[in-house]
A and B are shown apart, each in its own frame.
Chain A
């Protein structure tokens, strides 16, 4: 009998802990991690060695994939928006650097139902003086800056394809342009908004991490609203269909799932 009571008590405790509403202390912060998992046309992205085929039936490999994300915002269940302090929210996602694929930042405890970030670097940051250009914004260290048309390159994808019409059979997509300082010009910054409700909200708690896992299909660069072909446009930088490419890749992010209450690796 004693044993039964004990088991019942144990079950009760378990049930209680399962149904217990987590309480958040908004005065403290926890970690948020955005995990970028890159694929291309549904196939896991591996630099250099794997082959991919776009909807122009062009087969290619990818040697480089880098892009900036910045100005991160999280929306709580009650609609409040938390903006990550701007200087803490510039990240350069680089497929060749594992640590760069999981931008991590602090956010107040709470449940978040939407994630927003800028894919690129906003205009103000592009025209800021030298002093603020540190870390991933350092114009010397990241190969993501045009010195002659001063502005950051937001997105770079390079690779090889027999279908490429360039002499060296390579393709190079360097997309930037921030809208100009005086007269309005092309602005390829893209605000990405992802609803987290369907695949799992992010619950942020002190000393733990909410890992928002995004599956990112870079094949959308070719297979988007405007079909981009390696034969027609092997090199696109400040001229050519740079806006079309940016519009295409702006749709590449899908929220796959969220792992809440993850231990932090020390």
Chain B
């Protein structure tokens, strides 16, 4: 068959159009299904029928990246939770929010939150759907009133129609607003690292990674429990009280036994989420490991495991192996997933 000039041209035009279209996922059809990774436990957050409509997902993502949620329309959730950094504020020890004000804690990654039983470093919020209220109303983050966000969305030219499409009513309420954001965050599942592939039998560790995995299992797995690499507990891992007098979990419970305890963070995606710990004082993974090797402080409520050990005994070779293993927890497909990024 002879291919005419026009045919080729038409194909090229079609391709260009298709490419342009595909750049914006709001314009193409796809289904968003929450898939529980086989080696993960049952999630705590339940999406209705394990899926959300495209309209709901698109709306949640649009809100996540929209600075309309902040007092002066400058800061969005995505400002500090950058998708390419596993939704952390890469390079910032403490997060800076509205008017460049600094908070006192390091932005936590948003990943696998459907398995979370409490949220933030101090566990102050108990439902994923309720988490957006905290940064929205925090004076140094978005400094806005929820009621005002809802008023702005209801007055917006686009949002009422989008809420109608997603939830059947064009009237934006706290429930539909927070549900949108909660569902979007629940969909941010990171379970496709090399480690996950090894567990699924689709890849194998190198000798060094395997050595590191065995070190991990004896030295780290109690708190950073597989496969989520956190046990969701609060622990004092031997850091001194910082300049903000941040007592962590104690600020929520006012229990002496909770002083200096913070949520055990997941070890997934460490490549993208530096700096580390609640105040972001560690800029490298090596410095974190050295903390456990040499710098544990015997402060109030030091975790009994660390108290007993005094320190985690690792040789330089062990450190190299452990680091190699930790690097298998990086999930490139997660941080590059266009579905999760600003459109």
A interface residues, Cβ below 8 angstroms from B? 127, 129-131, 133-134, 138-141, 145, 147-150, 180-183, 185-186, 238-239
Contacts and interface: CB of A to CB of B under 8 A. Distances in A.
Given A131-B175, A185-B253, 12 more contacts: A130-B174, A133-B174, A138-B173, A138-B174, A139-B146, A141-B147, A147-B134, A147-B146, A148-B120, A148-B137, A149-B252, A186-B254
B125 interface: yes
Contacts of B125: 147-150
A150 B178 CA distance: 14
B179 A148 contact: no
Contacts of B37: none
A143 B94 CA distance: 28
A130 B179 contact: yes
Contacts of A238: 251, 254
Interface residues of B, number: 31
A127 B118 CA distance: 11
Given A139-B130, A141-B174, A147 B179 contact: no
Contact of A139 (B174, B253, B254): B174
Nearest to A127: B126
B136 A147 contact: yes
Given A139-B130, A148-B138, A150-B130, A133 B253 contact: no
User: Among A134, A140, A239, which residue has the most Cβ atoms of chain B within 10 A?
Assistant: A140
Interface string B236-252: 00000000000000011
B299 to A, nearest CB: 20
Contact of B130 (A130, A182, A239): A130
A264 to B, nearest CB: 30
Contact of A133 (B120, B134, B137, B175): B175
Contacts of B147: 140-141
Interface of B: 118, 120, 124-127, 129-130, 133-134, 136-138, 145-147, 149-150, 173-175, 177-179, 182, 251-255, 258
A93 B182 CA distance: 31
Interface SS, B side: helix
A123 to B, nearest CB: 11
Contact of B253 (A127, A131, A145, A183): A183
A235 to B, nearest CB: 16
A130 B175 contact: yes
B261 to A, nearest CB: 11
21 contacts: A127-B126, A130-B182, A139-B174, A140-B145, A140-B146, A141-B147, A147-B125, A147-B130, A147-B136, A148-B137, A149-B252, A150-B124, A150-B127, A150-B133, A180-B253, A181-B118, A181-B126, A183-B255, A183-B258, A185-B253, A238-B254
Contacts of A138: 173-175
Contacts of A134: 175
Contacts of A130: 127, 129-130, 174-175, 178-179, 182
A211 to B, nearest CB: 32
Given A130-B127, A140-B147, A147-B134, A239 B175 contact: no
A29 B188 CA distance: 50
Contacts of B138: 147-148
A185 B250 CA distance: 10
A128 B173 CA distance: 17
A149 B251 contact: yes
Contacts of B182: 130
A129 B46 CA distance: 11
Nearest to A185: B253
Nearest to A150: B125
Given A139-B146, A140-B147, A238-B254, A147 B133 contact: yes
Nearest to B150: A140
Contacts of A145: 133
A239 B253 CA distance: 10
B255 A139 contact: no
In the A-B complex, list the 5 residue pairs whose CB atoms are closest, starting with the nearest: A140-B174, A140-B146, A147-B133, A130-B129, A150-B125
A148 B124 contact: yes
A127 B130 CA distance: 10
Contacts of A140: 133, 145-147, 149-150, 173-174, 177
Contact of B134 (A129, A148, A181, A185): A148
A134 B179 CA distance: 13
Nearest to A141: B147
Contacts of A180: 253
Contacts of B146: 139-140, 147
